[in-house]
Amino acid sequence: MVRVCSLSLDDREVACFFNGKVIRISKMKNTVGIIANPQSGRDIRRLVAHASVFDNMEKVNIVERLLFTLGQLGVRKVIAMPDGFGIVEAALYHLGRTTVDVELVKMPVLDNWEDTYRAASIMDVECDVIVVIGGDGTNRIVAKAVGDTPIIPISTGTNNVFPYMIEATIASEAAASIARGVVGKEEASRKSKKIELFENGVFRDIALIDVAVTAYSFVGARAVWEPKQILELVVSRGSPSNIGLSSIAGILNEIDDEDAGLYIEFGKGRKMRAPISPGMLSEIEIKDFRVFPLGEMVHIKNSQALLAVDGEREVTLHGEISARVVRNGPSVVDCKKALSLAAHRGFFEVD
C-alpha cells in the first residue's frame, strides 16, 4: 500500500547483529529513496539518430525488483518521487504487497526537472541512500539537490556516462546494506567530479560529464546531435566506449576518475569520427585540446553561447564564460564494494 505524507522522520540508532556479535552501530534511518524519471530515454534522438526507447513499463519492472528486494533485506521504508505516469504505484500494483513501507513525497507533479529536484532535496534529508533511475540529465538535477547522501544511478537514459548498467536486484542489495547500517556510506561511496560554470566570475550552473559551447541560437529540442554546431567542449570524464560528446574526449585522451578534466576546441585540424549519438558515427575536426587539473579555471573563447550541459541545450551565458572541474559532485555508491563488505559481515546469512 502506498501512502502520501509530508515526511517527518527522526534518525534512530541501529544495531546490526550478525554471527552473534554487533558489527556496526550507526545512526541510520533504514530508509531508501527512489527517483524514477518517466522522461528519460525518450528524447528526439529516437528520431534523428538510432537511440532505443526505454519505456516506462521497464522502469516499473525495475522499481518492482527494487521494492521486493529491499523488503526481503529488512529495509523499513522507501520514499519515492511521484510522477504523472505513476511508475511506483504501478510497481506496487503488480507486486500485490510488499513488506517495505512506501511513501510518496507530498509535492505537486509538474512532469519536468523540478519534480526530480524537489524529491531529491527531501530525500537528501530523509534517506540513507537514493536510487536514481534515469540518464546523465536526471542525475545532474539530483546532483544539484543532494549533499552527502550517496546515490546509486541506474542507467535508463540516452547517453549514460554517469549512471551505470546494473541489475536492480544488485542495486537494491547495495542500498539495503547501507540503509541497514551494515556498510558505512563512507566505506562504499566516493565523491564524483562535476563541472562548475561561471559567468563574469559568478557561479551559474553545473554539469556532471560535459559542457558543450554551441552555435545554436535557441534551445529547441535540447539534444545535441549536429557536430558542426559544437564550438568548444569541457569534460570531466571521457572514454572511447562512451556514447555522446564525452566520447570525443575519450578518443583524444581518455579521462576516467583521475583528478583532471579535458578541454577541446573544434575547428580546422585533426579529423576523426566519434559516436556522439546512438548508431551515428559523426565526422568532426579538432583544432586543439588539452588536459587540465582539478580546480583550474578554463576560459571559454566565445563570449555569448548557448551551452549544452550533459547533452542537453539548456544554459545561455554572456560575457566572460569559464568552467572548472572539481570533486564535489554527488557521492556514488560502489555496489561491488558495498556487497563485498556486506557479504563478509554476514548480511546475507539467514537465521
Q: Look over the chain and give the mean of its residue pLDDT values, rounded to a whole number.
A: 87
Q: How long is the chain?
A: 351
The answer to whether residue 342 scores a pLDDT higher than 70 is: yes
Full set of structural domains in the chain with CATH: 2-192+330-344 (3.40.50.10330), 194-326 (2.60.200)
- d(C-alpha 291, C-alpha 282), whole Å: 23
Find the helix or strand (DSSP H, E) in which 102 lies: strand 101-105
Phi-psi region of 157 (alpha: psi -120 to 50; beta: other; left: phi over 0): beta
* Res. 54 pLDDT band, cuts 50 70 90: low
Phi-psi region of 181 (alpha: psi -120 to 50; beta: other; left: phi over 0): left
Structure-block grid coordinates of residue 201: 566570475
- The larger pLDDT score, comparing residue 73 to residue 9, is at 73
The answer to whether residue 1 scores a pLDDT higher than 70 is: no
pTM summary value: 0.87
* Res. 27 pLDDT band, cuts 50 70 90: low
- The reported pLDDT for the residue numbered 231 is 94
Per-residue pLDDT reduced to its tens digit, 216-263:
765 544 566 577 888 999 999 999 998 888 999 999 999 999 999 999
The answer to whether residue 203 scores a pLDDT higher than 90 is: yes
Mean pLDDT of the region 315-340: 95
The Cβ of residue 33 has, within 10 Å, a number of other Cβ atoms equal to: 29
The answer to whether residue 18 scores a pLDDT higher than 90 is: no
- C-alpha closest to that of 192 among 171, 172, 213, 206: 206
